[in-house]
C-alpha cells in the first residue's frame, strides 16, 4: 500500500526527541517570524519525531531551518511507505525527481529512530535502491547529493518492532541550529550561576520572542545573563537588570564544582565576548525589577526572562517590614548600609512583570517567561492575564510529579489603559513550601503502612517489632 502520494513539494522535518512539547510553539513563532503561510503548518502530518509539510519550494524550509533549535534536519521527501516495497513502488513513480542530480556525487545513508541497525544490516537496504538512475561518483565525505532512507521504529524502547512503522526516503537539504546549542554550552561558558538557563531553552525562548537583528531585548532578572546570550547571538542588543549586586558583579561564590572563587574577569559581558557578540552588549544594571527604572518612552522589542521561583534563587525586592512611615536610616549608617530586602511573593513578581511589560514593550513585542506551576492545581484560566497582552503560547516542562514550569509567551496587542491590570490566580503557582512538601500518600512511611495493611507484616523490621 502506498500510504502517501508524493509530490516534489513535501518536506520532512526530523525533530529531536527532547522538549517535544515546545515543537509546535517554536514552529508557530518561526512561521510568524518569516511570514510563511500558516495554513502549511496547520496541514502538517506528524508521526513521532517526523513532521511532513508541503511548501511551494525549499525557500520556506530553508528559512525555518536557519532558526530552529528543535528540528535537527530537513529533507525533500521523494518517497514513503510502511513496507520497503511500497516505498520503492512510490519512488519508481517519482524518478523524475532524480533527474537534476543524475551526475552529482552522492551518498546513501540509512537513519533509524527507535532501533539501532548495524552497518551489515544497513548495506542490503541500500542495495535495494540500485534501480536509481545515478551516474555520479560515490562520495561519503562531501557528496553533492545525500540520500537518506529513514526508518521509524516507534517511540517505545521496550517494544521495538521487527519492521519499521514508517519509512521515508529523500534528499537531505538542511540541518537546524543545534550546533549553536553546543557552541554556547554551559561547561565552557565563562560566567555561569546555579540557575543559568539551559542553552537550548534559551535559544528557544529567543525564537519564541521573535528576536530579530537590531532589536533591543531586556531581561529584568538577568542573573548571569544566560538568556541574553541567545538574543545576542541573534544580533539583538541586550540589556539586563538584577537586584543581586554580587551576582551582576560576578562576586558570588562559583557554581562550579571544586572551584571556590570566581575568576576576576567573569561577567555577563565576558560571556558575550566569548561568543564573539560583545557588540550586542548594551549594559547591565543593579536594580530592583519591582520599581520604575527606565524613562517612559524607552520601549523594548522583547522581554525575555526567568524570574526567581524562590526555590533555588530567593524572591526579593527592596523594602522593610518596619511599619513606621517616617523610618529613616541613621546618618552614620548610611555610607555602609546595604538595602534591606523583603520577600517578593511569586504572585506579585508575575503581576508586576506583566504590568511592566504591558507598558515597556513595543506593540507586537513579546514577553517570554517561565512560571513555576503546581500540577495538581493548574488550570489555564489561573495563568496571569493582562488585557494589553495576548497569551500566544503556553508549554509545560515537567520537573517532578507535582511541579512543573510553563513557558508562556505574551504579545502586546495594545497600549494599556488605566484599567489594564494583571489578574492571576496564585493557587496554581508552585511555592517553595509546596515544592518541598512531602506528599503524604507517597511518603515512605505511608507506603509501608499501606503495604502492611494489604499484605500483613512481612518486613524483617516489622516482625521484630511485633515480637
Query: Contact positions toward other proteins, by CB under 8 A?
Result: 214, 237, 239, 241, 243, 245, 248-249, 269, 278-279, 282-288, 291-295, 297-299, 318-320, 322, 327-329, 334, 337, 339-340, 342
Of the candidates 277, 284, 300, 208, the one whose C-alpha atom is nearest the C-alpha of residue 249 is 284
- DSSP structure string for 134-183: --S-B-SSS-SEEEEEEEE--S-TTS--SS-SEEEEEEEEEE-SHHHHHH
Q: What cell does 300 get?
A: 523594548
Taking the least distance from each CB to other proteins, the nearer of 160 and 342 is: 342
Q: Give the cell for residue 90.
A: 512510490
- Specify whether the CB–CB gap between 242 and 286 falls below 8 A: yes
Which of 212, 385 has the CB closer to other proteins?
Answer: 212
How many other C-beta atoms can be found within 10 angstroms of the C-beta atom of residue 198? 15
Q: Whose Cβ is closer to other proteins: residue 265's or residue 439's? A: 265
Starting from the edge strand earliest in sequence, which strands make up the sheet with 145-152, in order? 45-47, 50-54, 10-15, 71-81, 166-175, 145-152, 106-113
Q: In terms of CB distance, is 201 or 289 closer to other proteins?
A: 289
Comparing CB distances to other proteins, the nearer of 158 and 214 is: 214
CB 43, min distance to other proteins, A? 37
CB of 225 to other proteins, least distance (A): 12
Taking the complex as a whole, the smallest distance from the CB of residue 211 to other proteins amounts, in Å, to: 14
380 DSSP 8-state letter: G
Complex with other proteins: residue 219 or 288, whichever CB lies closer: 288
Cβ proximity of 200 and 245 under 8 Å: no
Strands 50-54 and 237-242: unpaired
Give the residue from 286, 385, 304, 290 showing the smallest Cα distance to 343: 290
- Closest CB to other proteins among 186 and 286? 286
**Nearest Cα residue to 231 out of 244, 256, 258, 212:** 212
In angstroms, what is the minimal distance from the CB of 415 to other proteins?
Answer: 17
Instruction: Read off the C-alpha cell for 351.
Output: 503581576
Q: How far is the CB of 363 from other proteins (least distance, A)?
A: 15
Between 280 and 358, name the residue whose CB sits nearer to other proteins.
Answer: 280
Residue number with CB closer to other proteins (139 or 313): 313
> Who's near 345: CB < 8 A, 6+ residues apart?
315, 426
- Distances, alpha carbon 308 to alpha carbons 305, 322, 401, 431, in Å: 9, 25, 21, 11
Q: How far is the CB of 221 from other proteins (least distance, A)?
A: 14
Q: Supply the minimum distance, in Å, between the C-beta of residue 217 and other proteins.
A: 14
Min dist CB 376 to other proteins, Å, is 37
Smallest distance, Å, CB 288 to other proteins?
Answer: 6
Amino acid at each position: 500500500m502506498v500510504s502517501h502520494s508524493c509530490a516534489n513539494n513535501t518536506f520532512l522535518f526530523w525533530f529531536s526527541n527532547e522538549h517535544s512539547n515546545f515543537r509546535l510553539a517554536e514552529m508557530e513563532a518561526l512561521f510568524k517570524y518569516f511570514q510563511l503561510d500558516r495554513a502549511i503548518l496547520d496541514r502538517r502530518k506528524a508521526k513521532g519525531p517526523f513532521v511532513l509539510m508541503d511548501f511551494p519550494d525549499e525557500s520556506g524550509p530553508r528559512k525555518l531551518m536557519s532558526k530552529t533549535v528543535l528540528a535537527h534536519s530537513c529533507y525533500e521527501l521523494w518517497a514513503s511507505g510502511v513496507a520497503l516495497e511500497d516505498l520503492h513502488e512510490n519512488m519508481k513513480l517519482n524518478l523524475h525527481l532524480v533527474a537534476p542530480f543524475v551526475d552529482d556525487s552522492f551518498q546513501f545513508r540509512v537513519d533509524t529512530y527507535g532501533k539501532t541497525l548495524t552497518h551489515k544490516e544497513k548495506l542490503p537496504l541500500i542495495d535495494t535502491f540500485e534501480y536509481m538512475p545515478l551516474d555520479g561518483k560515490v562520495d561519503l565525505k562531501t557528496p553533492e547529493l545525500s540520500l537518506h532512507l529513514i526508518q521509524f521504529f516507534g517511540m517505545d524502547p521496550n517494544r521495538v518492532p521487527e519492521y519499521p512503522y514508517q519509512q521515508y526516503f529523500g534528499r537531505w537539504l538542511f540541518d537546524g541550529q543545534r550546533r549553536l546549542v553546543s557552541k554556547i554550552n554551559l561547561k565552557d561558558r565563562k560566567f555561569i550561576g546555579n540557575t543559568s538557563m539551559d542553552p537550548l531553552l534559551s535559544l528557544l525562548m529567543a525564537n519564541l520572542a521573535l528576536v530579530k537583528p537590531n532589536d533591543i531585548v531586556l531581561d529584568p532578572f538577568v542573573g548571569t545573563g544566560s538568556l541574553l546570550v541567545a538574543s545576542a547571538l541573534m544580533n539583538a542588543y541586550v540589556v539586563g537588570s538584577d537586584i543581586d549586586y554580587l551576582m551582576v558583579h560576578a562576586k558570588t561564590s562559583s557554581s562550579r564544582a571544586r572551584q571556590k572563587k570566581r575568576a576576576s574577569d567573569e561577567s555577563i559581558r565576558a560571556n558575550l565576548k566569548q561568543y564573539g557578540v560583545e557588540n550586542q552588549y548594551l549594559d547591565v544594571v543593579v536594580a530592583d525589577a519591582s520599581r520604575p527604572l527606565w524613562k517612559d518612552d524607552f520601549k523594548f522589542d522583547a522581554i525575555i526572562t526567568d524570574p526567581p521561583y524562590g526555590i533555588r534563587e530567593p524572591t526579593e525586592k527592596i523594602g522593610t517590614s518596619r511599619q513606621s512611615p517616617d523610618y529613616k536610616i541613621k546618618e552614620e549608617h548610611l555610607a555602609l548600609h546595604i538595602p534591606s530586602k523583603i520577600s517578593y511573593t511569586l504572585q506579585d513578581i508575575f503581576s508586576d512583570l506583566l504590568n511592566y511589560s504591558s507598558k515597556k514593550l513595543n506593540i507586537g513585542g513579546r514577553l517570554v517567561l517561565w512560571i513555576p506551576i503546581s500540577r495538581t492545581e493548574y488550570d489555564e484560566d489561573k495563568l496571569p492575564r493582562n488585557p494589553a497582552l495576548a497569551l500566544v503560547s503556553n508549554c509545560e516542562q515537567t520537573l517532578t510529579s507535582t511541579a512543573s514550569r510553563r513557558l508562556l509567551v505574551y504579545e502586546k496587542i495594545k497600549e494599556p489603559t488605566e484599567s489594564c491590570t494583571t489578574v492571576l490566580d496564585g493557587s496554581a503557582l508552585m511555592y517553595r513550601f509546596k515544592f518541598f512538601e512531602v506528599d503524604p500518600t507517597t511518603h515512605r512511611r505511608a507506603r509501608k503502612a499501606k503495604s502492611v495493611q494489604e499484605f500483613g507484616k512481612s518486613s524483617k523490621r516489622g516482625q521484630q517489632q511485633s515480637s
